[in-house]
Structure 1
Amino acid sequence: MAYFDRLGEDTFRPTGHVSGAWDESTQHIGPALGLLVHVLESDCASRREDPMVVSRLSYELLGVVPMDVVDVRVEVVRPGRTIELVEATYGHGDRTGIRLRAWLQQPRDTAEIAGEGFDPIPRPDEMAPWDPTTIWRGGYLASAQVRRESTGPGRSRYWVRTDVPLLADEEVSTLARMTGLFDIANGMAVRADPTRVHFPNIDLTAHLVRPPQGEWTGFDTRVTFGPGGLGLTSSVIHDHRGPLGTVAQSLTVRPR
């Protein structure tokens, strides 16, 4: 069973693997982030013959989405020959739950000057398996395979993969599949007991320096809570070749 079944050109039905960690009657937005990338990439391929790559994904999480049929829409906000800005939305009924704005760029050969400023992390086989359902509810977290090394509250390095396809009977890119795991970061380096403190994120922004490869997505994550109800989950993301970008999530921190 996949995360989503396609019902039409722009409509999808979530399966039980999408149920949320805070409330199982609503969707975990993780898989939706990957679905929006797939829809965006499909739209780009239908409009252009030249290749484009994603350099930024910026999601605004506008409200919870029930475990029900959703609609997606894509619009080119800023067309261009080498750079374009595309918006995609994810909604239920007349309500938009997620808005994505993505920058796409035409790739160039910069291999001779390539370099990175991030530290590597241990490989998946160098970390112990960890079961996220010891802390979290919901089908989404139960679908994840995790190898984790935690060094204290709000600080973890880990790798995540899943055997669950993003879409039933439909090929998706490695980027779309991996993006469906980006939002898991907020639950992998827990700073406070989620039964005592709620800390959902209200956005997610990923910056990428190259397309990802492989099965596993690696994270080097730090979680910070400020004194006035604001928080931040900040991660460097990796694939088997090394660091490939960053993911940041703004948190609303709410002691119960």
Structure 2
Amino acid sequence: MNDSYFQRTGDRRFKPTVHAGGAWNADEQHFSPVAGLIVHAIERHRATGPDNGLALARISYDILGRIAVDECEITVETIRPGRTIELVEAVLVIADRPVIRARAWFLVSRDSTAVADSPIERLGAPEEFTPWAMSELWDGGYIASIDVRRRESAPGRAAAWISSELDLVAGEPSSPLASFIALVDTANGIAVRQPPTGWMFPNVDLTIHLHRQPQGRWTGLDTTVTFGPAGHGLTSSVLHDATGPVGSAQQVLTVRPLAGS
């Protein structure tokens, strides 16, 4: 348990370890490993059916409430089966209350190498970035568990590589996809516009689009954070693995000052 973010307690039930602790509140889980856990559960559900060669193209999470540091249950249902396109829904429940609802589109894989290209430049290698002690700015067991290499260019603008040596679920191998997505939500903390001691800007969702399946142990984030004038914000990231861009992520923020700041 000390080397993972979760421990399986049942067929669909999981208990968080200390490493899943959140950055905003000590009694909440960080959403990043939870997002990876949901992908892990979806992949396990899909493995019970036929191998139709479909790959994840989009997953969208709605965070419906506080993610307490408590045992959770994840149910997965295929709501639009198909040979070339499939839609899967997962619901995470804590204390009989739905807390996260996720929908994932899977698309058929075909050979398109003849036209594969992108105008997005790849990030430099992780070794070219400066190690960053993220836990000096953010609290929580999750932040303390990750290796972060960052290059900041301005408030609200930064690029970083994130990795973790911990298993997602104790004693269970996780796919490169689940491990990659388990680090994406970190984006909202690497390019802060205002210090979290004075302002709160938690995200209420996360949507990831992929044009290629990620590989390797590093998740690359090229991130921009924007605050609007009416208490709303947006964290936008181009996602990379070590060989180049793989997709994008968006997080909608609720922006508000902390009491007494």
TM-score (norm. length: structure 2): 0.97
Aligned to 1:71: 73
User: Secondary structure of 1:111's partner?
Assistant: coil
Residue 199 of structure 2, aligned match among 197, 204, 217: 197
Taking the TM superposition and a 5 Å limit, the aligned residue runs for 1:69-218 are 69-218=71-220
* CA root-mean-square deviation: 0.8
Aligned to 2:39: 37
User: Secondary structure of 1:166's partner?
Assistant: strand
Aligned to 2:232: 230
The sequence identity of aligned pairs, in percent, is 48
TM-fit CA distance, 1:92: 0.4
- Matches of 1:61 and 1:131, distance apart in 2: 27
Letter of the structure 1 residue corresponding to residue 215 of structure 2: Q
Aligned to 1:241: 243
What do residues 133-172 of structure 1 show as CA deviations (whole Å, max 9, x unaligned)? 1100000111110010001110001100001110111011
Gaps of 5+ in 2: none
TM-fit CA distance, 1:93: 1.8
Aligned to 1:50: 52
Taking the TM superposition and a 5 Å limit, the aligned residue runs for 1:23-34 are 23-34=25-36
User: Secondary structure of 1:98's partner?
Assistant: strand
TM-fit CA distance, 1:94: 1.4
- Matches of 1:118 and 1:73, distance apart in 2: 36
- Matches of 1:174 and 1:225, distance apart in 2: 32
Deviation >3 Å, runs of 4+: none
Size of the aligned set, in residue pairs, is 256
- Matches of 1:152 and 1:25, distance apart in 2: 32
Residue 21 of structure 1, aligned match among 20, 23, 27: 23
- Matches of 1:117 and 1:61, distance apart in 2: 32
Indicate conservation of the 8 Å contact 1:65/1:91, yes or no. no
User: Secondary structure of 2:168's partner?
Assistant: coil
Letter of the structure 2 residue corresponding to residue 182 of structure 1: V
Letter of the structure 1 residue corresponding to residue 21 of structure 2: S
User: Secondary structure of 2:92's partner?
Assistant: strand
User: Secondary structure of 2:181's partner?
Assistant: helix
- Matches of 2:249 and 2:121, distance apart in 1: 15
Indicate conservation of the 8 Å contact 2:52/2:83, yes or no. no
Indicate conservation of the 8 Å contact 2:21/2:29, yes or no. yes
- Matches of 2:99 and 2:144, distance apart in 1: 23
Aligned to 2:222: 220
- Matches of 1:26 and 1:43, distance apart in 2: 26
TM-score (norm. length: structure 1): 0.98
- Matches of 1:134 and 1:186, distance apart in 2: 16
User: Secondary structure of 1:185's partner?
Assistant: helix
What do residues 15-63 of structure 1 show as CA deviations (whole Å, max 9, x unaligned)? 0000100001111111110011011111111112222210001000111
**Which stretch has the larger CA shift, 201-210 or 111-120?**
111-120
- Matches of 1:82 and 1:27, distance apart in 2: 35
TM-fit CA distance, 1:219: 0.8
Letter of the structure 1 residue corresponding to residue 107 of structure 2: Q
Gaps of 5+ in 1: none
